[in-house]
Amino acid sequence: LENELLYGVPFEMSEQAQSKEFVIPIGKAKIERQGTHVTLVAHSRPVGHCIEAAAVLSKEGVECEVINLRTIRPMDIETVEASVVKTNRLVTVEGGWPQFGVGAEICARIMEGPAFNYLDAPAVRVTGADVPMPYAKILEDNCIPQVKDIVFAVKKALNI
């Protein structure tokens, strides 16, 4: 699934990505930004919010590793695990409801896998509000995760 709100968002493309032979492997996440303090994992539109939040937090001395899942089935949990082993903290971000979400699945897989022993704090999920999506723009903005929500969650995970 793709988020139609991304259709009007401009972004840079490398020469390689514009090649006719360029292929993105299915099931392989991309590390959008390297970091050492906390792992931010997202897919679709929230990836951009995570990159913006990482830029804000970088000014405060917090370096976030941002992982773009790109696909959720298959899910590249190995890349997420390797990042959590490196940063010792995990924050998942998604626009959907908290119950049965992608973030819940990521947290479960980290808890059940070898990376759990490397966590120095509980994983934090940033999700949409558990309400029907409102039509009014101001209410919609308050129902889906924003950059400020991600910054707050990272600070919570780091206890700062």
Residue 152 C-beta-side C-alpha neighbours within 13 Å = 8
* pLDDT value for 44: 94
Q: Judging by DSSP bridges, how do beta strands 124-126 and 30-33 pair with one another?
A: unpaired
Question: What is the Cα Rg of the chain in Å?
Answer: 16
Instruction: Give the max Cα distance, the chain.
Output: 46
Q: Reply yes or no on whether the pLDDT at 9 is more than 90.
A: no
DSSP H or E run through 65: strand 64-68
Global model pTM greater than 0.95 = no
Instruction: Delineate the domains of the chain, giving CATH numbers in brackets.
Output: 28-158 (3.40.50.920)
Tens digit of pLDDT for each residue in 41-95?
999 999 999 999 999 999 999 999 999 999 999 999 999 999 999 999 999 999 9
Check residues 33 and 16 and name the one with the higher pLDDT: 33
Tens digit of pLDDT for each residue in 80-139?
999 999 999 999 999 999 999 999 999 999 999 999 999 999 999 999 999 999 999 999
Q: Reply yes or no on whether the pLDDT at 1 is more than 70.
A: no
* pLDDT value for 51: 97
In the 8-state DSSP scheme, what is residue 72? S
